[in-house]
Every structure is written in C-alpha cells, then in structure tokens.
Amino acid sequence: MKPIEITKGVFDVGVTDWNIRDFHGYSTDLGTTYNAFLIVDEKIALLDTVKKDFADQLLENITQIVDPQKIDVVISNHTEMDHSGSLARVMHRIGQDKALYCSKMGHKNLARHFPQQFNYHPVETGDELSLGDRTLTFMETRMLHWPDSMFTYLKEDKILFSSDGFGQHYAGPEKFDDQIDGDTIMYHAKKYFANILLLYAPLIQKLIERVAALGLEIKMICPDHGVIWRQDPGKIIDAYARWSRQVPAPKAVVLYDTMWHSTEMLAEAIVSGLLDAGVAAKPYHVRKWHRSEIMTAVFDARALIVGSPTLNNGLFPTLADILTYIKGLKPQNKIGAAFGSYGWSGEAVKLINEELKAINVEIVDPGLRVQYVPDKEALKAGFDFGRRIGKAVLG
C-alpha cells in the first residue's frame, strides 16, 4: 500500500499481508498488517521493520518518501520475526553502521537472530533520543508479550508506537479507527488480547498504571498490527484496563465435540437451560470453530461448560486440544462444569473436571453423564443442568 502521512513528517510505511490465514495457530481470516513508521526530521528514524517476505515492499514504500540510505537510526520495538524479519535486508540497504536502538533484551535477542554485527544502542525506560525538532522516549514493556518488547513515544506529537500492544490482526482498506465500524475493530482487538496477551494481563494492569502515573498525553496509538487509533486512543486503553482485570460478563460458553450427536444433543439442551435462566449462552462444536475464535468467546465468559464423549477411556482429542490451549492462557474468574455421553465406561466427565481445575475454573456441579442416546428424561436433565449453572452465573 502507498505510504500514508499520519501526521506532518510521520509516515506509515508498513505493508499488508492480505492472504495470511494462520498466524502460528491464530486464525487471521481477514489477513493482517505489519506496520512500520518513518519519522522525517533532522535525523530520519525508521520504527520497526516487517516480515522477511515483505522487505522489498517496505523499502519501496520508504523510497517514495526518502532515499533509504538517508535513514539515520532504526528502532526495534520487538524482535519477533514479523517485525524484525527484514531487519538484515534493511540494514544492508541503509548501511550496517547506522544506529540500531532496542531494549537490552532486544539487543540480546537480535544478536541471536542475526549474525551481522549491527551498531546496537540498548536503551531502558526513560532514555531519550533527539531527532532534531522531535524527541523519542523509550519505555520497556517486558513480557508484553516478549521479554524484549518496548514502546516508543514521540513526545512533541504525543504519538505512542506500541509494538504489539493495542494491535489487531486485521487487513482492510481502512488505516485509522475512525474509518471502520467501532464494534468491528474492537472485536479484532479483543481477539488479539484474548489469544496473545491474556497470559500477561497482570503486567498490562501495571503498565497502564505506570503510563497513567507518567501523565503522558496520547493523541495517537500506532500498533504494529492493524489500524491506528487516532480518533479515540483512550477507547482501546480503557478496554485494555478492563480486559486485564478479567471481570467476566454474565454469559456462558458451551464447548463440545460429538461422535454420533448424543453429546451435541446434551449441549443444546444445556444451552436452552442457560437461556431460560437468563444467561446469554452459545454452543461451540470445537471442530467447527477455530481455537482462537473459541478463546475470544471464553475470555470474558463467566461460565465454561465442556462436553465430550468418552473415547478409548479418555477425552475426545479435540477437547484435549482446546483445553490445553485455554490452560496456557490462564483465564481467571470462571465457574464451570462437565458433561458427556458414553457407551460403557464414561471417564470423560471426570477428566474434563480435572482439566477445568487445572485451568483454575471453579467446579459448580459434579457433572452430567448420559449413557448412549439421550432420551426425553436425559434431555430434561441437560436443561436443568444448564439452569443450575445459569443461576450460579447470575450469583
């Protein structure tokens, strides 16, 4: 895409990856962007690069503004390869002796990624770099979401270059938040938080408190993925503050897989009971939904209800997969229960309860087990099971 001047002398020179559909296990049905930014002052600074495959496109975008060899400094806010993959190509083009600013952990990581000896300038929180009329201030944001991550703040323009913070995997014709429906882009931001940043929610709370204590005025947030927040950057900051507290909504997610539809019949009966109790609820057949979409739904749900048939005296493999994924992200403040159908042994409910406890879900019902095909009485039991959990959700 053609470079866009987001404010006088500051350009988005990043690229759009229209066709990526899987980002190491995260579904990117609408693609993504790798944003990079060029600041033209007495010194010219490039903030972040892009995925290796798009290096030439990045350099072409820069060329439309300045000769890349005129770049004086490069800032690496994050060493993950979707942002540093083209760094060696860029440094070769602009001159490998040019200053490369990164966090101390970034220095360590980049030195392991690239054998070239770049002119590293490791920085820490509070360090500044003058470009002439403009000043860059650096802020380490360790484990948001890598140890090397940092923010860069353009003091005079009040722009926060936030690396992976406040981003979204979204590719479209829109470049700014005021060019797209607010609910649409907030869903993508929420999905990004739920699947990439949730594990670090306590650190995000502290970071937001630290930014507030510094009294930084932020007029624009430029993440490394998705749209730029220029109309209302406070909206996404407030959302991160809320999401990081993990206060659940009064809703339930029912995850299940099924062999011959018996567990599916129970799932639908349970959802009916939840709805009857006044709780928003939805069933998710886990083979029909991508795990990152499921996690987005689970993220702010109060109740997580999981159902599986018993297969080889164990869980259905797809349920083991999604429960492992959820466990790694460490969601908090959830209640839950298990259900399932079986033929002759019926261990699945017990195993699900063990997995839910490992996720730190409070078990509010011992579970529902039904042998073979649910009859009218069993479906009524499923409905009542849903109602009981619904009442627990509403507390």
- Between vectors from CA 122 to CA 116 and to CA 125, what angle results, nearest 5°? 155
CB 31 within 8 A of CB 17: yes
- Token pair 């060899």 is found at 69
Q: Please list the active-site residues.
A: 24, 78, 80, 82, 145, 164, 192, 225
User: Rounded distance, CA 332 to CA 361, Å?
Assistant: 8
Q: Is there a cis peptide before residue 145, judged by omega within 30 degrees of 0?
A: yes
Tokens describing residue 369: 């087990």
User: Rounded distance, CA 80 to CA 198, Å?
Assistant: 18
Tally the C-alpha atoms within 13 A of residue 98's C-alpha that lie toward its C-beta: 22
User: Rounded distance, CA 45 to CA 49, Å?
Assistant: 11
User: What contacts 307, CB < 8 A, 6 or more positions away?
Assistant: 254, 255, 256, 257, 263, 266, 267, 270, 319, 338, 339, 340, 352
The DSSP output letter for 359 is: T
Q: 102 by DSSP, 3-state: which?
A: strand
Alpha helices in the chain (DSSP H): 55-63, 81-84, 87-94, 104-113, 182-192, 201-214, 233-245, 262-276, 291-299, 317-329, 348-358, 376-394
CA dihedral 387, 190, 199, 362 (to 10 degrees): -10
Tally the C-alpha atoms within 13 A of residue 200's C-alpha that lie toward its C-beta: 21
CA distances from 40 to 47, 73, 177 (A): 11, 11, 24
Q: Which of 187, 185, 201 is nearest to 241 (CA)?
A: 201
